[in-house]
């Protein structure tokens, strides 16, 4: 196995129309040229900290404020730098994860999903349009590669998708509608309130969601249909409950299984002398693309009980994510990390929240992971922006130990 640091990218969205019309709102985030550094001017003129410039450096910085600027990064560029390399990771049999972190309105969903166009040529398997986000682009590229590989070698490919959200520490399947109706030989009404799903531990594959529907897809357009089902499920749920989308985490999973059908002739090009008789190799990769709940602190004052419970739960998953990141970062510092496998000495509280339990392998485990921190450039968000940027700095020191998920079988 090899070690790899979590890749941390930051994306700055443009000021929106409302922010632009407010005279006192200014752009406080500067990205200098194509560097991976940015600065934030904190404090209003009334503050003691006025004029303080904070400096940050990351693996990647995407400036999406002004299309006129030379360093402007649109959807295609963000995809190519962040999720693009994870395609290779998946085909090599490694697990991969990309998660978007930031306050509500900072551009997480725009980055992950982008804007859906109904006239999209992608409905026929064509390429995603200009404003499509990371998920549709990743899926399109995945199938483009599969087709290219199949043309070259005898390959059996299986792609399975699942999509769910975590709200109030409860898991809801976003793709269960057609699943339920397809198997409803009994008279169970589809409208019936479905119970929340549970997390359990698989001895080999680790934590998983019990009874989560998984859907086999053989083309990009088939996959897109499921994505549309999930997105509309999510939208319906959040209209019914005001602002739910900003307080829920959504996780889109792709499992890729590749079996080389040509390697059973005993003439493997591998030089390692394994005593296993030549068998077909299956490489498996699980890719998780995650749109987290808004990272802003949720007010618990002056609300009703439900609201408070909601706030506490959201904080539970996001706070635990923070604790996990902090523990991994500290363990790295304390453990030295240079003498062999460095198990972090600090306790990592993965199981304290549903989110961190499910993302365990992606945080300090067997996965290549990218964090995309999204920020607003507006002066009125400077405090949240600084909080996000500091969080992202911490995440940069996390080390994952990746190994190929390979299993010989016949």
What are the catalytic residues? 105, 107-110, 291, 294
Closest distance of CB 291 from ligand ADP, Å: 7
Helix segments in 34-158, DSSP class H: 75-82, 84-91, 108-112, 134-152
247 binds, among ligand ADP, Mg ion, none (CB under 5 to 8 A by kind): none
| Identity of the residue, 14 or 81, whose beta carbon is nearer to ligand ADP in the bound complex | 14
Using CB under 6 A as the binding rule, whether residue 107 contacts ligand ADP is answered as yes
Q: What is the DSSP letter of 323?
A: H
Q: How far is the CB of 74 from ligand ADP (least distance, A)?
A: 8
| Residues 6+ positions from 31 with CB-CB distance below 8 Å | 12, 37, 38, 61, 63, 71
DSSP code of 296?
A: S
Q: Indicate the residue among 102 and 365 with the shorter CB distance to ligand ADP.
A: 102
The residue sitting closest to ligand ADP, measured at its beta carbon, is 107
Q: What six digits make up the tokens of 301?
A: 């004052």
Closest of 359, 11, 371, 367 to residue 164, by C-alpha = 359
Stretch 111-150: interaction string toward ligand ADP, x if CB under 6 A: ----------------------------------------
Cα-to-chain-centroid distance, residue 146: 22
The smaller minimum CB distance to ligand ADP, of residues 77 and 179, is found at 77
- Rounded least distance, CB 12 to ligand ADP, Å: 8
For ligand ADP, the binding residue among 102, 136, 331, 365 (CB under 6 A) is 102
Report the residue from 89, 109, 281, 295 that binds Mg ion according to the rule CB under 5 A: 109
Using CB under 6 A as the binding rule, whether residue 246 contacts ligand ADP is answered as yes
> Segment near ligand ADP (CB under 6 A), from 19-27, 106-114, 308-316, 385-393?
106-114
Q: x-or-dash pattern for ligand ADP, window 16-55, by CB under 6 A? A: x---------------------------------------
Helix axis angle for 75-82 and 84-91, nearest 10°, is 40
Which of 394-409 are b and which e, b meaning 16 or more Cβ less than 10 Å from the residue's Cβ? ebbbbbbebebbeeee
| Cβ-contact 408, 281 below 8 angstroms | yes
CB of 83 to Mg ion, least distance (A): 17
- Residue 384, CA atoms < 13 Å, CB-side half-sphere: 21
Q: Looking at 98-106, 140-148, 175-183, 349-357, which segment touches ligand ADP (CB under 6 A)?
A: 98-106
Out of 110, 164, 252, 391, name the contact with ligand ADP by CB under 6 A: 110
Tell me how far apart the alpha carbons of residues 155 and 387 are, in angstroms, rounded to a whole number. Answer: 46
Assess 364 for contact with ligand ADP (CB under 6 A).
no
DSSP, residue by residue, 192-228? SPPPPB-EEEETTTEEEETT---EEESSHHHHHHHHH
Instruction: Give the count of beta carbons closer than 10 Å to the beta carbon of residue 344.
Output: 19
Q: Which is closer to ligand ADP, CB of 14 or CB of 93? A: 14
- Which of 13, 140, 286, 368 touches ligand ADP (CB under 6 A)? 13
Instruction: Count the Cβ atoms, other than its own, within 10 Å of residue 12.
Output: 26
Residue whose beta carbon is closest to Mg ion: 109
The residue among 149 and 235 lying less far from ligand ADP, judged by its C-beta, is: 235
Each residue of 120-156: b (16+ CB within 10 Å) or e? bebeebeebbeebbbbbbbbbbbbebbeeeeeeeeee
The residues near 39 (Cβ < 8 Å, ≥ 6 apart) are: 29, 30, 32, 53, 54, 55, 56
Instruction: Quote the least distance from Cβ 105 to ligand ADP, whole Å.
Output: 5
Q: Which of Mg ion, ligand ADP, none does residue 107 bind to, with CB < 5 to 8 Å depending on kind?
A: ligand ADP
Stretch that binds Mg ion, among 52-60, 100-108, 356-364, 380-388 (CB under 5 A): 100-108
Which of Mg ion, ligand ADP, none sits in contact with 105, Cβ below 5 to 8 A by type? ligand ADP
Which of 93, 105, 344, 377 binds ligand ADP (CB under 6 A)? It is: 105
φ, ψ of residue 388 to 5 degrees: the values are -65, -45
Of the candidate residues 19, 64, 122, 163, the single one contacting ligand ADP (CB under 6 A): 64
Which residues lie near Mg ion (CB under 5 A)? 108-109
Binding site for ligand ADP (CB under 6 A): 13-14, 16, 64, 102, 104-110, 246, 294, 374
């Amino acid at each position: 196995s090899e070690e790899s640091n979590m890749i941390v990218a930051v994306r700055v969205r443009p000021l929106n129309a409302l922010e632009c019309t407010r005279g006192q709102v200014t752009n406080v985030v500067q990205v200098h040229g194509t560097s991976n550094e940015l600065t934030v001017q904190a404090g209003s003129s009334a503050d003691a900290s006025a004029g303080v410039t904070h400096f940050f450096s990351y693996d990647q910085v995407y400036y999406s404020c002004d299309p006129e600027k030379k360093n402007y990064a649109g959807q295609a560029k963000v995809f190519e730098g962040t999720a693009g390399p994870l395609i290779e990771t998946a085909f090599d049999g490694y697990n991969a994860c990309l998660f978007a972190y930031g306050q509500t309105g900072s551009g997480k969903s725009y980055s992950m999903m982008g804007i859906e166009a109904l006239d999209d040529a992608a409905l026929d398997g064509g390429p995603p349009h200009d404003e499509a986000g990371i998920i549709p682009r990743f899926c399109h590229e995945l199938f483009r590669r599969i087709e290219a590989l199949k043309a070259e070698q005898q390959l059996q490919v299986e792609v399975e998708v699942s999509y769910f959200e975590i709200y109030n520490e409860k898991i809801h399947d976003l793709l269960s509608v057609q699943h339920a109706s397809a198997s409803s030989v009994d008279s169970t009404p589809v409208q019936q309130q479905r119970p929340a799903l549970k997390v359990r531990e698989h001895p080999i594959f680790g934590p998983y969601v019990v009874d989560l529907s998984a859907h086999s897809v053989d083309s990009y357009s088939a996959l897109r249909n499921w994505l549309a089902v999930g997105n509309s499920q999510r939208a319906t749920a959040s209209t019914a409950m005001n602002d739910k989308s900003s307080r829920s985490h959504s996780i889109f999973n792709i499992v890729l299984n590749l079996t080389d059908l040509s390697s059973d002739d005993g003439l493997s090009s591998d030089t390692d002398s394994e005593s296993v008789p030549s068998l077909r190799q299956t490489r498996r990769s699980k890719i998780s693309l995650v749109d987290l709940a808004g990272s802003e602190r949720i007010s618990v004052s002056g609300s009703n009980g439900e609201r408070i419970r909601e706030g506490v739960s959201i904080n539970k998953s996001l706070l635990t994510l923070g604790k996990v990141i902090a523990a991994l970062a500290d363990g790295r510092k304390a453990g030295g990390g240079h003498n062999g496998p460095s198990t972090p000495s600090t306790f990592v509280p993965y199981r304290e929240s549903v989110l961190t339990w499910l993302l365990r392998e992606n945080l300090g485990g067997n996965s290549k992971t990218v964090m995309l921190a999204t920020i607003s450039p507006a002066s009125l968000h400077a405090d949240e922006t600084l909080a996000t940027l500091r969080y992202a700095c911490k995440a940069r020191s996390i080390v994952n130990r990746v190994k190929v998920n390979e299993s010989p079988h016949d």
